[in-house]
Amino acid sequence: MNAQEIISLLPYSKPFLFVDEIEKIDENGVVGNFTFQPELDFYRGHFKDYPVTPGVILTETMAQIGLVCLGIYLLAEEEFVGQVAMTSSNVEFLKPVFPGEKVTVTSEKVYFRFNKLKCKVLMQNEKGEKVCEAEMAGMFLKV
C-alpha cells in the first residue's frame, strides 16, 4: 500500500484532513507532514490579532499522521473498513505553530495488538525544532 492510498483511506476530508504527505512508512513507524494554511477557519478566532494553531488541532494532526495512517498501513492485509477511536493521549506542547507553517510528524510504534496501536509521536517545525511530543493510543474498530 502506497502513501496516496493510505491518505485516501483516512476517515477525514477537508477542512478536517491534516495530512499533506506521507514521506516514509513501514511496520515500525511513519513520517508525514502538513502545512497550516493561513486561510484555515480556526485562525479567525484563535487568538484575536495573533493567530496561533490550537493545541487540539496539533494533537489531531499528530493523531492523523502518527496513529491513523500507521494503523491503516498495519491493517492493509485485512482491508480495514471501520472507525478509529483515540483511547489516550499525553501531549506536551513546547512551541507555537503559526499560520503558514509546515510541520513534520514522526511516529514510532510502541505496540500494536488486538487492533490497539500505541505510538510515541513527535512534531517538528521547518527549523527542526520540537513543537510538541506525545504518547498516543487508539483502537481500530471494524464496522
Tell me which fold the domain 3-142 belongs to.
Thiol Ester Dehydrase; Chain A (3.10.129)
DSSP-H helix ranges across the chain: 3-9, 55-63, 70-74
- What is the pTM assigned to this prediction? 0.95
Q: How far apart are CA 118 and CA 109, in angstroms?
A: 6
State in Å, rounded, how far the first CA of the chain is from the last one. 21
* pLDDT the model gives residue 101: 98
Q: Where are the domains of the chain?
A: 3-142
Q: What is the pLDDT of residues 68-115, one digit of tens each?
A: 999 999 998 776 666 888 899 999 999 999 999 999 999 999 999 999
Catalytic residue among 17, 21, 42, 46: 46
Assess whether 129 carries a catalytic annotation. no
What does the DSSP 8-state code read for residue 131?
A: E
* pLDDT the model gives residue 81: 65
